[in-house]
Amino acid sequence: MIRLLAFFLIFLPVQGVSQRASETSTAEMRWLDRTTGELQTFILSVEEPVTIGPIDIHLHSCRYPLEKIGLDAFALLSVYWAKDKAQLFNGWMVASSPALNALEHPRYDVWVLRCKIP
Instruction: Name the residue ranges covered by the structural domains of the chain.
Output: 20-116
Which is nearest to 49 in space by CA: 28, 92, 79?
Answer: 79
78 vs 103 pLDDT, higher one: 78
The full DSSP string for the chain is -HHHHHHHHHHSPP------EEEESEEEEEEEETTT--EEEEEEEBTB-EEETTEEEEEEEEEEETT-TTT--EEEEEEEETTT--EEEEEEEETT-TTTT----SSEEEEEEEEE--
92 vs 70 pLDDT, higher one: 92
| pLDDT tens track for 38-90 | 999 999 999 899 999 999 999 999 999 876 666 689 999 999 999 999 999 99
- Tell me what pLDDT residue 69 has: 60
| pLDDT tens track for 1-47 | 665 445 444 555 545 455 677 888 999 999 999 999 999 999 999 98
Give dist(CA 21, CA 94) in Å, integer. 13
118 vs 107 pLDDT, higher one: 107
Which is nearest to 51 in space by CA: 91, 96, 81, 6?
Answer: 81
- Tell me what pLDDT residue 117 has: 83
